[in-house]
Amino acid sequence: MVANQINLLKSVDKSLGVMIILLGVMQSLTTFYFFRRMEEPAAWYFAGGMLLMVVGALTLLRLKYGEIAPGVKYVSLAANLMLSLFWIALYWLLFDKFARHPASFTGLFVILASAIVSLRQTWRAQPQQQL
């Protein structure tokens, strides 16, 4: 029973990592739709998409190599938590803007879910001390 729950959580974790990567790809590709000229705001928007892709990739790396490279676990967890805090602040400060486009909340929920699952997976995977 516990093994099934662990496998389910890993599948959810992997799916959320892939979704974050896809959000990043979509954001980067839409840069040229939302910004007619490549100026500083467009560059920052594109960079935000790249950041999402990197955080999603770190999640997948944590799942694949987290047990043999513990540093990957903690870097991935920190990246997920920092990204979540940033997005919470962004939505808090710009709520009126995002409320006009309810679909934009999908990104927030995916990022928050990924951080929560990441946190759970990292603490669950702590090695037991040998006596």
Q: How many domains does the chain have?
A: 1
For 87, the domain range is 2-124
| Tens of pLDDT, residues 3-58 | 787 788 889 999 999 999 999 999 999 999 999 999 999 999 999 999 999 999 99
pLDDT tens readout for residues 49-96: 999 999 999 999 999 998 899 899 999 999 999 999 999 999 899 888
More confident position, 17 or 2:
17
Note whether residue 120 is domain-resident. Answer: yes
Where b means 16+ CB within 10 Å and e means fewer, 84-121 reads beebeeebeeeeeebeeeeeeeebeebbbbbbebbeeb
129 domain-assigned: no
Residue 101: which pLDDT band, with cuts at 50, 70 and 90? Answer: confident
- The answer to the question of residue 131 being in a domain is no
So what's the pLDDT on residue 89?
Answer: 93
Asked if residue 106 belongs to a domain, the reply is yes
**Whole-model pTM above 0.95?**
no
In a domain, 130, yes or no: no
Q: Do the domain assignments include residue 78?
A: yes
